[in-house]
Amino acid sequence: MRFLLIVSLFAFFATTDNAFADKKNGENVAVMPVDTFPVPRVANLLFYIQRDPNTNTICYELNVNDKGQLDEENPVHPFWIRYPEGGMRKELNYVQRKFAYGIVVKKSGKDYYQLKSVAYAKTPLYLKRGTNNKYQVFMQINQKQCVLTKIFVRIDGGTFWVPNVKYIEVTGTDPSTGKTVVERITKFS
């Protein structure tokens, strides 16, 4: 399915340490329900990705200057929040930016950008001003164009190189109704 490659790369490049648990803090979230994962508190957060095997979170924030104006050359800034390490922010490393969590941006019009994941470019995302006049990322979720809020990848065992992905859950908001829309993907072929 459309997320097969991205899931494999997300799991593969998740972090270079803490591969299947945060042993320092005794955290093993393979048994934690998704709703117990921390929700990032980032001023210009567009969306975030969480996955097993720990609560480290990849955030995608709107990249603005000191005056609050969008950086049109680089409108999206991805970074880690390392919750097991006290919520420390950390930049993505080169491999993570180029092969797993990076975003390729193409300006498509005034206040409108096409975003593609470096891991899987077949599912386009769109950065544009929403009805609230703020930039938001839009994605097709359950056959509806929605504001993307989060992606969760459930991994149940496997290895660092070949994780056993149980499902991917994509969550967003229907801009016309304000209701949460969730799509759980369990088949990846």
Q: Is the CB of residue 118 less than 8 Å from the CB of residue 94?
A: no
CB 105 within 8 A of CB 114: yes
pTM over 0.85: no
pLDDT tens column, 54-98: 899 999 999 999 898 999 999 999 999 999 999 999 999 998 999
Compute the average pLDDT of residues 155-172: 83
Q: Which two tokens stand for residue 114?
A: 């096409």
Cα(149)–Cα(174) distance, integer angstroms: 11
CA 56/CA 49 separation, integer angstroms? 9
Query: Domain residues of the chain, as ranges?
Result: 4-185
Between 148 and 110, the higher pLDDT residue? 148
Answer whether residue 20 shows pLDDT above 50.
Answer: no
The Cα 151–Cα 49 span in angstroms is 5
Mean pLDDT of 119-140: 88
Q: Is the pLDDT of residue 6 over 50?
A: no
Question: Per DSSP, what are the bridge partners of residue 137?
Answer: 127
For the chain, how big is the Rg over CA atoms in Å? 16
pLDDT at 138: 97
